[in-house]
Chains A and B, each alone.
Chain A
Amino acid sequence: MAGRAFAFADPRIIHLAKNSFIPVTADDWYQRRRQDDEGTFFRSVAEQGPRKGVGGATRQGIYTLTADGTLLEFKNAGQNADATLDQLTRALKKWNSLPASRRQPGAVTVREHGKLDANYTRTPPKNGLIVKVFGRILDRKDQEFCRGTCEFAGGMKASRDFLWITATEADAMLPPKLEVGTEYPLPPAIARRLARFHLLDNTRGEPRFWKRADVRDLDLKLTVAAVTPEHLTLRLSGVASLENLREHRGYDARLGGTIRYDRIAKVFDRFDVACVGDHWGDDSFTDSGARPGKTPLGVAFTLADATVPGNRVSPQAARDLDIYMGQRDQ
Chain B
Amino acid sequence: MLKSLLLLGLLTAQPPARLDDKQIDHLLAVIKPGEGEDPFATIPWQTNLWEARKLAAKQGKPILLWEMDGHPLGCG
Residues in chain A within 8 A of chain B (CB atoms): 1, 3-4, 8-11, 14, 16-18, 20-29, 31, 37-38, 41-42, 58-68, 72, 78, 88, 91-92, 95, 103-110, 113, 134-136, 138, 140-147, 157-162, 202-206, 237, 252-258, 272-278, 296, 298-300, 302, 309-310, 312-316
Contacts and interface: CB of A to CB of B under 8 A. Distances in A.
Interface in B52-73: 52-73
Nearest to B64: A21
B54 A253 contact: no
A70 B51 CA distance: 17
Contacts of A277: 15
Given A18-B43, A274-B28, A316 B62 contact: no
B64 A255 contact: no
A310 B56 CA distance: 17
Interface of B: 11-13, 15-21, 23-24, 26-28, 30-33, 37-76
Given A136-B31, A140-B13, A104 B62 contact: no
A202 B63 contact: no
Given A145-B26, A158-B31, A237-B18, A31 B49 contact: yes
9 contacts: A21-B61, A23-B63, A24-B65, A38-B49, A67-B53, A105-B60, A134-B33, A298-B27, A313-B47
Contact of B43 (A8, A254, A316): A8
Nearest to B10: A143
B64 A24 contact: yes
A300 B24 CA distance: 9
Contact of A8 (B12, B39, B60): B39
Given A24-B66, A206-B75, A103 B60 contact: yes
**3 nearest A-B residue pairs (beta carbon):** A256-B19, A8-B40, A105-B60
A302 B18 CA distance: 19
Contact of A255 (B19, B67, B75): B19
A66 B65 contact: no
B26 A144 contact: yes
A22 B18 contact: no
Nearest to B71: A27
Given A25-B71, A26-B65, A254 B40 contact: no
Contacts of B64: 16-17, 21-24, 62-64, 88, 91
B69 A58 contact: yes
Contact of A21 (B23, B24, B63, B68): B63
Contacts of A298: 27, 30-31
A28 B70 CA distance: 7
A106 B27 contact: no
Given A4-B38, A110-B54, A146-B30, A313 B61 contact: no
